[in-house]
């Protein structure tokens, strides 16, 4: 079954992170994961469960170790599951880069450059701007990379204005 938002079956919403292990380790990603989510929250459905999906035994061991550490630290049950990745399905197009799509002036600049959805989804620049659109990142971080994002002067102004309001 190829799941959709309205017909998920036993699938869960998740993200996939592509990373360069020469620059960041799986363990560093796990540290960020534990810092940024609430492991004590019991999911009300499989669709929204918290999980770490691993590709190999080394990743499984690291995920289990960090989960056990969190349970010890919190002295509570951690509901985050550690599961093998079997297959990853992309969400429907309208769910991709959702925060950015809510700002058509910015999204349209990238759609012109990346008319194919797969290219749009896989673009680092699109991902970075989507992060800022979602409320992440600082004005200082934006200034350090604004010229690398491929935005027009008007798009850059709009993004600076948006990030500066936080």
Q: Which two tokens stand for residue 79?
A: 């509901």
Q: What is the pLDDT of residue 4?
A: 63
Q: What is the pLDDT of residue 45?
A: 75
Give the helix, strand, coil percentages of the chain, each rounded to 5. Answer: 50, 5, 40
Q: What is the pLDDT of residue 15?
A: 82
Question: Is residue 158 within 8 Å of 103, Cβ to Cβ?
Answer: yes
Burial readout 25-64 (b: 16 or more C-beta within 10 A, e: otherwise): ebeebbeebbeeeebeeeeeeeeebbbbbbeeeebbebbe
List of long-range contacts for 16-22, beta carbons under 8 Å, 24+ apart: 16/88
Q: What is the pLDDT of residue 85?
A: 94
The torsion defined by the Cα of 7, 18, 142 and 132, in degrees rounded to 10, comes to 10
pTM listed for this prediction: 0.75
Report the distance separating Cα 110 and Cα 103, nearest Å: 11
Greatest extent of the chain over all pairs of C-alpha atoms, in Å? 51
pLDDT in tens, the chain (166 residues): 676 666 656 657 788 898 999 999 999 999 999 999 889 888 877 767 899 999 999 999 999 999 999 999 999 999 999 999 988 877 778 778 999 999 999 999 999 999 998 999 999 999 999 999 999 999 999 999 999 999 999 999 999 999 998 7
Report the distance separating Cα 163 and Cα 166, nearest Å: 6
Q: What is the pLDDT of residue 16?
A: 86
Q: What is the pLDDT of residue 154?
A: 97
Question: Looking at residue 21, what DSSP letter applies?
Answer: T
Q: What is the pLDDT of residue 5?
A: 62
């Amino acid at each position: 079954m190829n799941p959709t938002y309205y017909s998920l079956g036993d699938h869960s919403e998740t993200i996939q992170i592509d990373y360069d292990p020469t620059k960041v380790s799986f363990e560093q990603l796990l540290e960020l994961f534990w810092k940024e989510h609430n492991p004590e929250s019991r999911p009300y459905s499989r669709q929204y469960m918290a999980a770490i999906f691993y590709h190999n035994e080394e990743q499984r061991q690291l995920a289990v170790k960090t989960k056990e550490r969190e349970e010890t630290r919190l002295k509570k049950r951690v509901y985050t599951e550690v599961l093998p990745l079997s297959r990853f399905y992309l969400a429907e197009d309208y769910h991709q880069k959702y925060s950015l799509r809510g700002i058509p002036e910015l999204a349209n600049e990238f759609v012109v450059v990346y008319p194919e959805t797969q290219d749009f989804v896989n673009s680092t620049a699109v991902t970075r701007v989507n992060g800022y659109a979602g409320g992440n990142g600082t004005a200082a971080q934006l200034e350090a990379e604004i010229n690398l994002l491929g935005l027009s002067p008007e798009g850059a102004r709009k993004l600076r204005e948006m990030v500066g309001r936080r």
